[in-house]
Structure 1
Amino acid sequence: MSPSQMPATGTCVLETVGRRTGRWRSVELWYVVADAELVLTGTPGPRAWVANLRVNPAAVVRLRDPQRQRAVVAREVTDPDRRRRIIVEAWRLQPWYAEQPYSVEEWVASSPVVVLDPRGPSIGTSEAVRVVRHGL
């Protein structure tokens, strides 16, 4: 499923490889589709899932509907102007973000903003994990 075929916002489960343990870690996160890309963001502050992706950007994302997984490669957004555009769009799509006690400036300065690029077609659970673990 491409971002253009997804709901504009929702929750997903992100599976990363732990940077210290090498074990799979799962976390449920809100996503938004911004600039036709699947983007993960959150309130300002450090996140273990971002630290894991910095060491190993290969991951698996599972969406609620359809119940499929996709192997992805994470790209952290560092350009302040692009971060601002994505965050403003995230606030518009997901009101929960705007209700938090942070300004847009604080979000731009220190929130995680990560784009998930698909690695091939949408695939079943075991196949997605195999793709990430073995790079096939």
Structure 2
Amino acid sequence: MTVTDDVRQALDRQRTIEITTTGRRSGQPRRIETWRYRAAGRYWLTGSPGSRDWYANLLAEPAFTLHLNGMDVAARARPVTDPGERARVLGEIVAALNGAGSLGSWLDGSPLVEIELG
């Protein structure tokens, strides 16, 4: 599937998005609202330090759905565990958040996945 300009424009405009993951234990769809970030020219899901059910779900089943402006878009999560890549991406994200905590705390305890589109 080729990603349309409409999808990219919606992702650029919408910081607050909804995603549907597959529950890792139940196998049922789980829809939540979260924030997407843009760094290094790509799109990411992360959050302040702490555990997240959506992250655990994506580790178990990386396929998920993005809900953007009435569009349901198939996506895939690429978990980022490499310390160097995490530092580069989270460094850019945290710097743009102005006072959302220290980079060290984000590196130690925040989930990070790249949103891969068709």
TM-score range, shorter chain: 0.7 to 0.9
Superposition TM-score, scaled by structure 2 size: 0.83
Partner Cα distance (1:9, 1:85) in 2: 23
The unaligned stretches of length 5 or more in structure 2 are: none
**What 5-or-longer segments of structure 1 have no aligned partner?**
120-136
- The residue aligned with 1:10 is 15
Runs of 4 or more, structure 1, over 3 Å off, are 1-6
1:32 Cα offset (Å): 1.1
- Equivalent positions of 1:50-89 (< 5 A) are 50-63=55-68, 66-89=69-92
Question: What is the DSSP-based 3-state SS (H/G/I as helix, E as strand, rest coil) of the residue aligned with 1:90?
Answer: helix
Q: State the SS of the aligned residue for 1:99.
A: coil
Paired AA for residue 70 in structure 1: V
RMSD value over aligned CA atoms?
Answer: 2.0
Structure 1 residue 82: Cα displacement: 1.2
> TM-score, normalised to structure 1's length?
0.73
Q: CA deviation at 1:41?
A: 0.7
Q: State the distance in 2 between where 1:84 and 1:91 align.
A: 10
Indicate the structure with greater strand content. 2
Letter in 2 for 1:86: V
